[in-house]
Amino acid sequence: MNNEHTDDKPTDPSHRRPDGVSDTTVRALGALSEALETVERARGSLYAFHQLTGGADLKLDEALEQLRAAGHDAQADLLEREIVGRNVIPGHWTFQIIEAYNTHYYQPFTDIEARIRRELLDGRRHVYEAEMKETRRTHGRPGHTPGP
């Protein structure tokens, strides 16, 4: 019989709760992990915003060229003067927003999340999820093994 189908060993030690850690603590760290995942998604959205806005600004070059080719120099001049290279919020291009977010929110969040995991779970990640997997999988079934 294939070992993949019969391997019922629980989750690897790097995802097991340390001795003496309560269910409430594991749930709290699971919620913290989920919050961090949401922050990661928000950060990704900032990068998407950065790239989309930058791409739109570069696309304006084509609009300027076509406006001028059509004889609309005044409108092209207005667009170039007022919009091309404009700050998206006062004093900031999108890269500066990302830098500020990373410095003032993202990095402190990730640092504190890691510190709390070290203090309460010996630094282990995804203990809540690993325990959920262990309770939800069908032991002994293909595709339900505890690890890779």
**How does pLDDT run across 51-102, given as a tens digit for each residue?**
999 999 999 999 999 999 999 999 999 999 999 999 999 999 999 999 999 9
The whole-number pLDDT of residue 13 equals 83
Which residue range forms the structural domain that includes residue 102? 19-136
Half-sphere exposure of 92 (CA within 13 A, CB side): 12
The whole-number pLDDT of residue 148 equals 78
Confidence of residue 12 (pLDDT cuts 50, 70, 90): confident
Is the pLDDT assigned to residue 2 strictly greater than 70?
no
What percent of the chain stands above pLDDT 70?
93
Torsion of CA 89, 91, 96, 97, to 10 degrees: -30
Domain assignment present for 122: yes
Is the pLDDT assigned to residue 1 strictly greater than 70?
no
Confidence of residue 14 (pLDDT cuts 50, 70, 90): confident
The whole-number pLDDT of residue 6 equals 43
Domain assignment present for 115: yes
Domain assignment present for 59: yes
Domain assignment present for 8: no
The whole-number pLDDT of residue 8 equals 54
The whole-number pLDDT of residue 18 equals 92
Mean pLDDT of 22-38: 96
Query: Burial of 17 by CB count in 10 Å (0-12 exposed, 13-18 middle, 19+ buried)?
Result: buried
Among the residue ranges 6-15, 119-128, 133-142, the one predicted with the least confidence is 6-15
Domain assignment present for 73: yes
134: which residues sit within 8 A by CB, 6+ positions away? Answer: 10, 11, 146
- The CA radius of gyration of the chain, in Å to the nearest whole number, is 25
- The amino acid present at 54, given as its one-letter code, is G
Question: Maximum distance among all alpha carbons in the chain?
Answer: 78
Place of tokens 């998604």: 41
Q: Which helix (H) or strand (E) holds 98?
A: helix 94-101
User: What's the total number of domains in the chain?
Assistant: 1
Is the pLDDT assigned to residue 46 strictly greater than 70?
yes
Domain assignment present for 11: no
